[in-house]
Amino acid sequence: MPQILDGNSVRDQIKAECRPRVERVRAHAGRVPGLSVVLVGNNPASEVYVRSKTKTAAELGMHSETITPDASISTEALLELIRELNARPEVDGILVQLPLPAHIDSQKILLAVAPEKDVDGFHPCNVGLLSTGRPGLRPCTPAGVIQILKRYQIPIAGKNAVVLGRSDIVGKPMAMLLLQENATVTICHSKTRDLPGVCRAADILVAAIGKPAMVTADYIRPGAVVVDVGINKVDSRAEAERIFDPSRLPDFDRRGSLLVGDVHPGDMARVSSAYTPVPGGVGPLTIAMLMSNTIDSAERRTGLS
């Protein structure tokens, strides 16, 4: 039987480690780490995600605030808001929730966040620090993947790692983090020739392609470790029948949809030696790493590190 890499338990470990760090900042600086989330307009999915972030911050004794400009805000007005947050000493982390409304220049907004407060790790300064192996704020999801591998004592050094997906948010930083752990790394994408064959060479396969259950058994070397970063909603019954065990179909009929990753769940469980489930694998780690990043920023900004 393969080992299930439970993201919820790793999340709880990281949160437990965060609490004394929060108290250490409080004792040293007379305040707790502070996170400001900017949520523009009314995107239901974003609102749910932001509520989870603020709830987790409160559980850890951190300060958090959600700033909710109207969807009609201009790029310049939003830039001015970011400048104000950059200048506030009690704000250690600034997170601009994506996607932004179409009329706003998202690149300009993300570049305006001070690199030392960029707890998403997206600013080019932080990307440069990552690529050159210097300390800095790391993108939360790839950093969470490294945590789950390390805490389950899965060897990375010397292993062949394949990252399926080349996004700036997951694929590219994931490859750099694995390289820093001394893996031999290949990045694949939609133009890769013989994609299943390249993926089958992996001891560690990280799927972040954004296509439901695209990665099937012929992509997975028997005994490989599979990390499924994808989270996709399946709302077609024919697609649900292709992907899920028949025992899951009553759930689909009741809810009208089911979540699946980028890897076929049955094939992943059958072929791999260890894998992250969806949901409950990588997903819970993203918010935990966001909190850790905010505390990292507070520690640096208050002279604790």
How many Cβ atoms are within 10 Å of 48's Cβ, its own excluded? Answer: 9
Calpha distance 25→125 (Å, rounded): 25
Active-site positions read 53, 97, 120
Question: Do 229 and 207 contact (CB within 8 A), yes or no?
Answer: yes
φ, ψ of residue 18 to 5 degrees: the values are -75, -35
